[in-house]
Structure 1
């Protein structure tokens, strides 16, 4: 059965999408909504300008409990549970990346640029209102994109486009207990259609109650990828850390780490065929503000995880923290769409010309991010 599932939890218009495709390779894209601070996630403690910009509380480096990665960068302490993946060569980072979006620093515009995969720098007049996920599916022979479940009637931008698309919005609440759900999973497990309908209903119930969390999204995605799905996206909200960043971002990082590890555990042996990409709409200011936070910026960081990743490396060209974009932001040295295109080419086998001309217009296709 070919399925594309969307789940909306009231925190964004495209929390979970799952699409089928031929082959065994799996791709998961996690979108961190709110602009994650890449300088706090993967801390360039070896850059002598960092401490003057960040003060004593942000991007604390190994002396403050962060985990050294390569003698220059360190991983935020709250991401500690991901260190075994780093040591196993199943985790990498790409620093100083961004979409083409510049200067206006609007979450809504930045998220739209990320969802469309567009080269447009000024979101209000997007060249294409289709989403990169839909266009990617359209480039894979035998792949299908069907919106089998949605808690809202709006078509999510990331899934909009030429590939077939349908929508169903549930209107009833089931009131199922965990025991009820376990029994139904046992009964329906042998039938893909019934199993899908159950999982959709369970997520609908959670979303309508405001209970959908990154871990449950990740567990749902893992179950679909172990079955017939091959491509998935979901979102984690809450990264807009204008004040009190140290405490807020630690909680968010633990949530992200939990989601990645839930994917690994749920995928089992399929993890070796999986690439997880973690992206955000833009980075945050290099300098901390007066309320212990950071403001909307430009350059940021992306994560790569999975058994199919060539891990243990921080990719990208580091620009330093003395030459800041607009005098305030980490200078982006690469387009995050280049890396997404490279992964879709090397891992999913999508032709490079389709990626650079259609899926991510104007992007180049780099190499070496996934295992051969």
Structure 2
């Protein structure tokens, strides 16, 4: 069953359901290359303006008086790193972690998680009737000899990005949730539009999630942390299990892996929620790096989200659905240590629709240039078969 149909049929859920981290299978495929590509979908709309902060823009503090803090980690004199990504700073210094700001899919104005995620994963300018495959699968269809890897699938979600005619396989870790998926969805449904109950419910679920994460720490994770000093801040949790399993597969015949991390829909209490989620993302990337060993130098990790968030903070210490956002990337195969792309500014006249960061580049183009650099794919193939209608533009220099 398609993810969107499953969620919508399950009580016609609203905003938070599409951002839920409950169902997170990881999908794999092999390919005739030595390079590895990992695509992580950040469900819920990552606030790129908070993750990679444009501190050099004089308008930032006025737009976000409650979110602009003095704990940023300087990157280049203009951009600062959210402290939740502090474990990534050594990778930034080594050129293995970077970002591309002011990017988006072609999706505009409606700002629905469901449609935004489907357009991101389909890689199309819109969602034509009958669309059933994703851009990673279409990429595999252009390469002869692709094979799926044996794996296990748990849970009903199927990631669109790797769905299609090319063979792939799925796996997901066993989870032990203290709140059932049905109960959590019902809570999201009935509390989302009431800030008082929504915030109280969110805090309760956060506590439950943390208990579940603590319980998931295992001996394999402890061994990985002991073996790699950069893993010192990595905790337990499903996100790390996904990364560990992905790294194990990628050390073998697997060349493509994709999974999602949810929870990025920070309408309220963004300071706490984003710090926690950026910490999990850091854990995930560092777990991949540790597990891949020498193969890390041949690996590209793209962290993509359906859209950005509003330039202005809202009245509940959060941000709402926006347009332009940030692509985060990592891996020894990419040219990190920099924020790629132009900067549109945060002045009133610079914002998209007077409210959002103006997108200057198509996030699909960044993925296209990554695949061209990693796998040597022809530009025409990328612009017609993989991302139909895309104009890749000038090479941003993402591949080392």
Consecutive aligned runs of 4 or more in structure 1 exceeding 4 Å deviation: 165-171
1:248 matched to 2:273? The reply is: yes
- The answer to whether 1:111 aligns with 2:117 is yes
Shift in alpha-carbon separation, 1:164–1:231, aligned structure 2, 3 A: closer
CA 1:167 to 1:324, structure 2 compared with 1: closer, same or farther past 3 Å? closer
2:354 corresponds to which of 308, 323, 327: 327
| Shift, 1:127, TM fit | 7.1
**Normalised by the size of structure 1, how large is the TM-score?**
0.81
Structure 1 segment 193-208 matched on structure 2, within 5 A: none
Task: Give 1:181 deviation, angstroms.
Answer: 9.8
User: How many aligned positions are there?
Assistant: 322
Deviation of 1:164 after TM superposition, in Å, equals 3.8
How much does 1:153 deviate? 5.3
Deviation at 1:12, TM superposition (A): 6.2
SS of equivalent residue, structure 2 residue 58: coil
SS of alignment partner, residue 164 of structure 2: coil
How far does the alpha carbon of each residue in 1:219-276 deviate from its partner, in whole angstroms, 9 at most, with x for none?
1100000111011111111000000000110000000001000000000000000011
| 1:337 equivalent in alignment to 2:368 | no
Residue aligning to 1:192: none
Q: Does 1:75 align with 2:102?
A: no
Cα distance in 2 for partners of 1:256, 1:153 equals: 23
Contact map agreement 1:134 1:145 (CA 8 A) in 2: no
Q: Alpha-carbon deviation of 1:353?
A: 1.2
Q: In 2, Cα distance between the equivalents of 1:273 and 1:146?
A: 20
Indicate the residue corresponding to 1:37 in structure 2: 47
Change (3 A) 1:328 1:53: same
Residue 67 of structure 2: aligned partner? 58
Distance 1:166 1:241, change over 3 A: closer
Aligned to 1:25: 35
TM-score, normalised with respect to structure 2: 0.75
Q: 1:119 to 1:234 in 2, by over 3 A?
A: same
Partner secondary structure for residue 282 of structure 1: coil
Give the whole-Å Cα distance in 1 for the aligned partners of 2:34 and 2:311.
40
Separation in structure 2 between the aligned mates of residue 310 and residue 69 of structure 1, nearest angstrom: 15
Does residue 350 of the first structure (1) align with residue 377 of the second (2)? yes
Q: Secondary structure at the match of 2:383?
A: helix
- CA-CA distance at 1:100 after TM superposition: 0.5
> Unpaired segments of 5 or more residues in structure 1?
1-9, 183-210
Contact 1:34–1:238 under 8 Å retained in 2: yes
Contact 2:149–2:254, Cα closer than 8 Å, also in 1 = no
**1:35, 1:267 → 2: CA distance?**
28
Are the counterparts in 2 of residues 341 and 364 from structure 1 also a CA contact under 8 Å?
no
Is contact 2:136–2:161 with CA below 8 Å preserved after alignment? yes
Deviations 1:337-368 (A, max 9, x none): 00000000111222211111011122234432
- When residues 126 and 342 of structure 1 are mapped into structure 2, their CA distance, relative to the original with a 3 A threshold, is farther
Q: How far apart are the structure 2 equivalents of 1:47 and 1:333? A: 17
How many Å apart are 1:152 and its aligned residue? 3.8
Match of 1:268 in 2: 293
**Do 1:21 and 1:229's aligned partners in 2 also have CA atoms closer than 8 Å?**
yes
Match of 2:398 in 1: 369
- The residue that corresponds to 2:199 in the other structure is none
Say what the alpha-carbon RMSD is for the aligned residues: 2.6
Matched, 1:221 2:250: no
Q: What is the match of residue 131 of structure 2?
A: 128
Kept in 1: contact 2:122–2:135 (CA 8 A): yes
The verdict on how the C-alpha distance between 1:136 and 1:326 changes in structure 2, with shifts beyond 3 A counting, is same
Q: Distance in 1 between matches of 2:250 and 2:169?
A: 20
Aligned counterpart, 2:324: 299
- The reply to whether residue 47 of structure 1 matches residue 57 of structure 2 is yes
CA-to-partner distance for each residue in 1:122-157, whole Å, 9 max, x for gaps? x4x457321112111111222224684322456542
Matched residue SS, 2:246: helix
Inter-CA distance 313–156: structure 2 relative to 1 (3 Å threshold):
closer
